[in-house]
Amino acid sequence: MGMNFKTEVSLLALAITLFVMSTFFFSYQNGSTTYLSLASYPYRGYALAFVGFGSVLMVTASLSYTKRSKNML
């Protein structure tokens, strides 16, 4: 049994939100300039986690929609 349409759309909307947030976190640069990229970009770890979680949500919603649309045929 798959998810309903509202749940799939909500998962996709959340995935898009996480992708947008991750672009901000990935590009955010600290005010101080150092040679260490980890110190200059402190939120890159969060950005990568958001992209990963958003990808999982997007794949889950897509698979559920595909399964549901095959059952309707």
Structural domain boundaries, residue 60: 5-72
How many structural domains comprise the chain?
1
43 in Cβ contact with 26 (< 8 Å)? yes
What tokens does 12 get? 């996709």
Measured distance CA(70)–CA(22) in Å, rounded: 33
15 in Cβ contact with 64 (< 8 Å)? no
pTM for the whole structure: 0.77
In this predicted model, what pLDDT tens digit does every residue of 24-58 receive, in sequence order?
988 887 766 666 655 677 788 899 999 999 999 99
Please name the amino acid found at residue 39.
A
